[in-house]
Structure 1
Amino acid sequence: MNQETNINDIQAPITTAPPEVRNIIEKVLQAEKDKLYMKSPWNINDDILKIIKEEVQ
Structure 2
Amino acid sequence: MTENLHENLIMAFRYEDSAIAAVPTSILAEKRSPYQTHQEFSDVQQPITSAPPEVRQIIERVLEIEKDKLYMRAPRHINDDILKIIKEAIV
Select 1:13's aligned residue among 47, 53, 56. 47
| Structure of greater Rg | 2
RMSD of aligned Cα (Å): 1.1
Correspondence list, 1:1-57, <5 A = 6=42, 9-57=43-91
The one-character-per-residue Cα deviations of 1:3-54 (angstroms, maximum 9, x if unpaired) are xx71xx1001100000000000000000001100111111111000000000
Unaligned runs of 5+ in 2: 1-40
C-alpha distance in structure 1 between counterparts of 2:52 and 2:73, whole Å:
33
After TM superposition, the score normalised by the length of structure 2 is: 0.54
Query: What is the number of residues matched between the two proteins?
Result: 51
Detail structure 1 runs of 4+ shifted over 4 Å in the superposition.
none
Q: Relative contact order, CA 8 A, sep 6+: which one is greater?
A: 1
Normalized per residue, the structure richer in helix is 1
Unaligned runs of 5+ in 1: none
After TM superposition, the score normalised by the length of structure 1 is: 0.84
